Amino acid sequence: MVTRKVTIEAPNGMHARPAGELVKRIREYAPTKITLRSGAKQVNAASILSILSLGLKRGAELEVVADGPREQEAADEVARFIAEIRE
């Protein structure tokens, strides 16, 4: 299991468009399971509705947890993608 911490920098936080793109990228790493943690909430990152349920605003801290084959690569890619969201 690999974890990465990332802060949401996007002015609009995590909304539907970047969440949808994130889910597409995450599915490329199957069967590696990727989870997002924010505060006391933890969700399966392969679900756009689960990601949106976190209500991630600008400045929110998020932990990316990857477990399975290619976990290192998956955690790095997901954290990088989230950090680079600017819309």
Task: Report the pLDDT value the prediction gives residue 14, as an integer from 0 to 100.
Answer: 96
Residue type, 86: R
Q: Which of 53, 56, 49, 67 is nearest to 12 (CA)?
A: 56
pLDDT, position 51? 97
- Residue-level pLDDT at 52: 97
Active-site position among 1, 8, 10, 15? 15
Residue type, 67: D
Vertex 79, ends 70 and 12: CA angle to 5°?
145
Q: Establish whether 49 is a catalytic residue.
A: no
pLDDT of residue 87: 83
Q: Which residues in the chain show pLDDT less than 70?
A: none
Condensed to tens digits (0 to 9), the pLDDT of residues 4-23 reads 999 999 999 999 999 999 99
Which amino acid does the sequence have at 58?
A: R
